[in-house]
Structure 1
């Protein structure tokens, strides 16, 4: 059991944690969540003893081993395999002692302990963990200094998992991982035997791995049982209760104030009025549930272009003078495509994105672009390289040179930068705010095609949900590279697998791909000899039908979500024309009404298609079962 007892931490004169308290059950798997800047990393540093609290303390069993990734990644000439084995300090020390020990009794104790900690199977365990995190046999044998910083952090994570501490602390472990490694990590953590505390904004991880949510808000901690979805339901119920209590209190305050105003001057009622005035003064206001009004994504929609936007014809791409990374690329991108690129890091997803973004030229074949196409390309480098001394207003003014100040302010406002936030220095912005600013910059000219390469790394769960809604309302094409499968499932209706030097449409759903990555539901022969040719052909046909049916359902669901988002924005504009955003602000009430009628018709048609696709899927699944 780990107890956080009334922790108070002040940094730079500001209270970060204010008598925060919680009890983590032994063996519990806890997701630590909170808005960016709430103090999650500060709490973890207090737990591991890196900072001394101003008040309160941390209590845990005396012999419990605590594990946390150091900020410095491992380096040097050691290999990832050697670095992971060295992470088990006790095993390493015992093996060294076994080589030099001359006392037979002590040597016996050493070997007994080596057996108890399963030391001799350690190399196989280390290799399995490294493979799961993306290191093949050749990569495991390369020197650490031949890897990038992100891959070195994977080695650090592998070493931590291998050492199997009693209390495992993970701070955004998915940030350096691709989707495939993230899936493996979730699967590994589900069966982790110790206590787990993980800071994460990955909704799927928080739903599949953890059994408690520890919510940090306003410096205080609240522990909720269950997954993230359960937490959201409980939080919504709590918000409703708080809102009701506030309304009740406001009514009572108004009643008391009215009584005091009417009766203070009368001698007969002055005493009662004074009593109620004191009661009114003692009444503590009930705080509203804190929401971030700047949490905003609103992509400007482009004018229509005839399809296709981009066509790749037997194209090859790479980095001269080397061999192509990808070849024989045949890909067509249309105006309303929502494409997610799948595949492990290093397989060429970013290379393909850069080719489509016109940052790389084809080495063979051809790439054709629509003559008037505008492309917005977002990468993590843009977030990290924002000039420290500038403000969002200055950066957007330079990017939109020649545009009137109202247009510049309007684009910033779409992404939550209004008032003082528009003139704040970029080095004072949170990671999520910097990501929103980078997105505002790359979409300033309403691109027809938006390419997003890992857009969620700096965003918390609520911000990711807002981004999904904005993508569904956006009327251009989207190419998405993300390890957040919740975002992929909700925002993409077409999957392209980048693997083995090729990029090809993946016929299955995200569920099929997850099963494929984790090795689940793979066909096997009952007699140990494998299926017959006829059985393989029949099974392949059934799987293809099932995948195609699932794809149609996914596409229908995505279109429904997009239309619902558009209808919600339209209804808001009709209810408050002055508050309308984007293109809706340019329309009259009459035009808004006409568009709503059209949109309602499209929604009805989309619902019919979804129902038809769902019934077809149910029928196929019934045959397969």
Structure 2
């Protein structure tokens, strides 16, 4: 479908791509990976024709159409959401006019046997087929389904696009792109402006899409759920792995170990050859051998290994100063901005050492609560009170914008560092992948990921016992996210994080607070526990609970949804879920009773024992570990049962 043949991109004496070639086939699902600066976005721009290679060519077959979503783009602000999204069907509208004109001309003609009449019939048939392929008959339903899937509400359809924030306007452009149904999607970080629900809806859409997908993403779970082929850009070359991202990581590690061994062998050979040359350079009897070795080195195809991948990175937050057991108490807190109600009824306690995720659709109040915690906002309902000796470190979504662009990387840290830590600034910057000349770059020339890393490094200069992190991984590459996640996992303070990155949150948080429909709901478990309980494997399950509504006609006021009693099927399903939840609780309780009985038997045996039996103590400790695990499962199952009973 698309062939990339011997592409080379050079800037002065520096080569970004060196004769790379690969083929994109229909229905391919490709993840394009590589470190920041490897040329991933450049490659997409070359495929679209926005940028020309120094040499080589990109060949598209005649019917191939491209849908490209860049990281940033200009968006229109002159129409309503529904009208702007409908612009995706410009080709459909053109075909409608053509079909109407052809139908009228055919009806007026009587030369049924002529070649001209036959040509008109063929043109009409082709136009109707194309119209059907582009979804002409179902466009209103498709617009509604796509906008809802991307997180818009039906009440948004009549709103002016100028009322939406930059992130939501990017969703509008993504909706238009999806509705155009191109032969191939080229998506550059499409999840940066999406929440968890919308990401999962997009995953489902792309998995079932009939065309090809080539995407850049730093969201591991998204890549694994969408792609089955991984193309790596590294040192100007590409390596094509016919597997999903997680399998690619394993294969790449094996390949890298082989490369490393070859690199080290070559370095030893070069060192020995250079020693021989230096030792015998001025001995006439060895001149032939010396010249032979010199030519050997000149002809040698020297292996390269990316410096970043050779580094051992181990950063950590400073030890958290002691705080009270209660870090923050949120009592019936809520927020409204004028007439716009954001949320209410937030009622929970953050205790020392808690790891909490705030999730939900954009605009539901996650960042608002984060700003309440740090004192930037005062709730319009209820209260948010901090505990004793709480010292907050805050990472805002726009943290990178708050840094002075004319400062260098080093100056940005140096101006806020105090005391002995100033002697370690280069080490800290190195841990965040700023090395050598990087520390002298001005902030304004850094990429989004580099600015995010720098802002995080700056936040680590002072000891804090509560970290409030609002979308800390946006624009970070996977290596940077791993560094940050490991640092948070080792941190001994309290963490509240707003994020839509499931892989980042997995294993890091043990409580999830979901902001939805003006309220806040608690889930005692990790992010995948929350997703399972909310049945968010496909957003279609959520949308089926909403009553279908027509696209509002121009000028119509959106009508509020009317909720009625549960249907017979819904009651039946609820009763089924209730029985299932009770059965889970009863099963765990029975196992806990059995474990307690066995532990008691061991206690009695140990009390009467006259010698140490290693096997008995090992079995005893395994029982206690199993008991602790099942108690945790019982707490989760009991909480889930309580939720179902109260619905």
> TM class by shorter-chain length?
0.7 to 0.9
* Pairing of 1:263-302 with structure 2 (within 5 A): 271-272=288-289, 274-291=291-308, 293=311, 297-302=315-320
Confirm whether residue 345 of structure 1 aligns to residue 365 of structure 2: no
Confirm whether residue 120 of structure 1 aligns to residue 122 of structure 2: no
Query: 2: distance between equivalents of 1:368 and 1:265?
Result: 80
Give the drift of 1:191. Answer: 1.1
Give the drift of 1:211. Answer: 1.2
Query: 2: distance between equivalents of 1:171 and 1:606?
Result: 48
Query: 2: distance between equivalents of 1:46 and 1:546?
Result: 59
Please name the residue that 1:501 is paired with. 518
Q: Of 472, 476, 493, which aligns to 1:476?
A: 493
Query: 2: distance between equivalents of 1:8 and 1:607?
Result: 62
Confirm whether residue 537 of structure 1 aligns to residue 554 of structure 2: no
Please name the residue that 2:629 is paired with. 613
* Pairing of 1:121-140 with structure 2 (within 5 A): 121-140=138-157
Please name the residue that 1:80 is paired with. 81
Please name the residue that 1:91 is paired with. 92
Question: Tell me, which stretches of 5 or more residues in structure 1 are unaligned?
Answer: 549-604
Please name the residue that 1:424 is paired with. 441
What RMSD in Å do the two structures reach over aligned CA positions? Answer: 3.6
Please name the residue that 2:52 is paired with. 52
Please name the residue that 1:360 is paired with. 377
Query: 1: distance between equivalents of 2:435 and 2:304?
Result: 25
Question: Tell me, which stretches of 5 or more residues in structure 2 are unaligned?
Answer: 108-119, 546-565, 590-620, 642-647
Asked if the contact 1:29–1:197 (Cα under 8 Å) also holds between the matched residues in 2, the reply is yes
Task: Give the SS at the match of 2:83.
Answer: helix
C-alpha distance 28-469 of structure 1, shift in aligned 2 (>3 A)? same
Q: C-alpha deviations, 1:181-234, integer Å up to 9, x for none?
A: 111111111111111111111111111111111111122222111011111112
Task: Give the SS at the match of 2:398.
Answer: helix
Please name the residue that 1:103 is paired with. 105
Q: C-alpha deviations, 1:358-393, integer Å up to 9, x for none?
A: 111132333221232111111221213321111233
Asked if the contact 1:183–1:514 (Cα under 8 Å) also holds between the matched residues in 2, the reply is no
C-alpha distance 336-538 of structure 1, shift in aligned 2 (>3 A)? same
Please name the residue that 1:311 is paired with. 329
C-alpha distance 609-333 of structure 1, shift in aligned 2 (>3 A)? farther
Confirm whether residue 67 of structure 1 aligns to residue 67 of structure 2: yes
* Pairing of 1:440-589 with structure 2 (within 5 A): 440-507=457-524, 509-515=526-532, 516-517=535-536, 518=538, 528=569, 530-531=571-572, 535-542=576-583
Query: 2: distance between equivalents of 1:331 and 1:222?
Result: 49
Between the two proteins, the alignment pairs up a number of residues equal to 564
Give the drift of 1:616. Answer: 8.3
Query: 1: distance between equivalents of 2:584 and 2:230?
Result: 38
Asked if the contact 1:318–1:363 (Cα under 8 Å) also holds between the matched residues in 2, the reply is yes
Please name the residue that 1:237 is paired with. 254
Give the drift of 1:280. Answer: 4.5
Q: C-alpha deviations, 1:440-467, integer Å up to 9, x for none?
A: 2233222111111111111111111111
C-alpha distance 307-612 of structure 1, shift in aligned 2 (>3 A)? closer
Query: 2: distance between equivalents of 1:533 and 1:278?
Result: 79
Query: 1: distance between equivalents of 2:577 and 2:568?
Result: 14
Give the drift of 1:507. Answer: 3.9
C-alpha distance 398-79 of structure 1, shift in aligned 2 (>3 A)? same
Task: Give the SS at the match of 2:231.
Answer: strand
C-alpha distance 485-521 of structure 1, shift in aligned 2 (>3 A)? same
Give the drift of 1:165. Answer: 0.5
Q: C-alpha deviations, 1:70-113, integer Å up to 9, x for none?
A: 65444234333333332133211122345566313659545565
Q: Which has the larger radius of gyration?
A: 2
C-alpha distance 145-262 of structure 1, shift in aligned 2 (>3 A)? closer
C-alpha distance 89-381 of structure 1, shift in aligned 2 (>3 A)? same
Please name the residue that 2:594 is paired with. none
Please name the residue that 1:574 is paired with. none
Please name the residue that 2:608 is paired with. none
Confirm whether residue 30 of structure 1 aligns to residue 47 of structure 2: no
Q: Of 166, 171, 182, which aligns to 1:154?
A: 171
Asked if the contact 1:178–1:483 (Cα under 8 Å) also holds between the matched residues in 2, the reply is yes
Which TM-score applies when normalising by structure 1?
0.81
C-alpha distance 43-180 of structure 1, shift in aligned 2 (>3 A)? same
Asked if the contact 1:353–1:451 (Cα under 8 Å) also holds between the matched residues in 2, the reply is yes
C-alpha distance 615-194 of structure 1, shift in aligned 2 (>3 A)? farther
Q: C-alpha deviations, 1:534-586, integer Å up to 9, x for none?
A: 645323435678999xxxxxxxxxxxxxxxxxxxxxxxxxxxxxxxxxxxxxx
Query: 2: distance between equivalents of 1:174 and 1:216?
Result: 21
Query: 2: distance between equivalents of 1:477 and 1:616?
Result: 21
Please name the residue that 1:176 is paired with. 193
Query: 1: distance between equivalents of 2:149 and 2:130?
Result: 28
Give the drift of 1:403. Answer: 7.1
C-alpha distance 532-170 of structure 1, shift in aligned 2 (>3 A)? closer
Give the drift of 1:153. Answer: 1.0
C-alpha distance 371-421 of structure 1, shift in aligned 2 (>3 A)? farther
Query: 2: distance between equivalents of 1:179 and 1:533?
Result: 25
Query: 2: distance between equivalents of 1:463 and 1:610?
Result: 35
C-alpha distance 543-162 of structure 1, shift in aligned 2 (>3 A)? farther
Which TM-score applies when normalising by structure 2?
0.78
